[in-house]
Every structure is written in C-alpha cells, then in structure tokens.
Amino acid sequence: MEIKEGQKNPIAYLAYSSAQSWIVKEKVNPNQGGIYFKEGVDHKGPAPVVLLATIPRMATKQAETLGAILCFGDADFVNDQFLGMMANKDLFMNTAHWLEGELDLISTRPQQYAYPYHHLTKKQGQWIFWLLVVVLPLLPALIGSGIYIYRRWRG
C-alpha cells in the first residue's frame, strides 16, 4: 500500500494492475479486437486500480466518524467476470465492511479451489474444437464405414 503524504487528505493506493498492463487513452471497442499499446498515447502500467481517500476525524461534522471514499477501477468491478477470481470478492466485501465500520466482519473466506478457471490460447481452443466437434463425432462413422467395406470385400 502506497500512501501519498503531504496532501490535505491522505490518499492510499490499495491495489495496482500488473506491470504488463496499460491505460488506453482513446475509446476502443474491445469486440473488434486488436487492442494494442500505442507509444506516446497510452500509459504503461502498473496503474492504481483501488484508491482510498480519507478525511481526518476533526474535518468531519461528527468528530467520532472518519470520512472515506473508496474507488475501484471501474463501475463493473462487482458485476464483471473476474469478481470470483483470486480473492477479488474478498477484497470488495472487506473494504465495504471497513467503510461501514464493521471490522469484526473483515475476514478471508476459505479457499475453495486453487484456480478454477482455465484460459486457453487461440490455438488451444482451435485444437479442442477440432477434436471434440469434428474428430470424435467422425470417428464412429469412419469405424463403421471401415467395417462395412471390410465385410462387403470379404463377401
């Protein structure tokens, strides 16, 4: 966690993207493919993806409360496909409990799966397609045709 001091309200960066990531400055349609880093336009990572800004207790109207804003990378963080991966759900739930002041609810759930998601490259996906959709269904037809031809030839 990196804290930016010297500001009126301290800001803490709680999580960063990977060093291989980048921030795209131009609007891009991801469905069209071809999202590449553009030198001079985009910014290389790591980029902060979770930010916490707090207001000191004396600056709030109620002296016993702490003002805080927690910002995640995008509005779809809780709804997107990566919520269940690599403790993202725990991160969100624990930060929500911290903001609510329910510190006794902050915990880490027991790990159910080591890594339940399998990502395939394009080539691996094509191999699986050909094997499961083309070769395996065609195999009984080829064996049956071979037996039929053998029996006709043998008489």
Taking only the tens place, the pLDDT of each residue in 133-155 is 999 999 999 999 999 999 999 97
110 occurs within a structural domain:
no
Sequence-distant (6+) residues with CB within 8 A of 101 are: none
56 vs 98, which has greater pLDDT? Answer: 98
Query: Do 101 and 126 fall into the same domain?
Result: no
Does the residue 54 lie in any domain?
Answer: yes
Query: Pick the residue with more confidence: 16 or 86?
Result: 16
Which amino acid, residue 54? T
Do 143 and 79 belong together in one domain? no
Q: Of 24-28, 75-79, 93-97, which one has max mean pLDDT?
A: 93-97
**84 and 14 share a domain?**
yes
Q: Are 125 and 132 in contact (CB under 8 A)?
A: no
Looking at the fold, whether 19 and 50 belong to one and the same domain comes out as yes
Q: Residues 102, 103, 105, 109: is their CA dihedral positive or negative?
A: positive
Pair (35, 99) in one structural domain: yes
Domain that holds residue 68: 2-105
Residues 58 and 84 grouped into a single domain: yes
Looking at the domain assignment, is residue 136 inside a domain? Answer: yes
In a domain, 145, yes or no: yes
Q: Which residue has the higher pLDDT, 34 or 123?
A: 123
- Give the residue-averaged pLDDT of 8-17: 80
User: Exposed, middle or buried: residue 64 (CB in 10 Å: 0-12, 13-18, 19+)?
Assistant: exposed
Give 14-60 pLDDT, tens digit per residue: 888 888 888 888 787 777 777 788 888 888 889 888 888 887 666 55
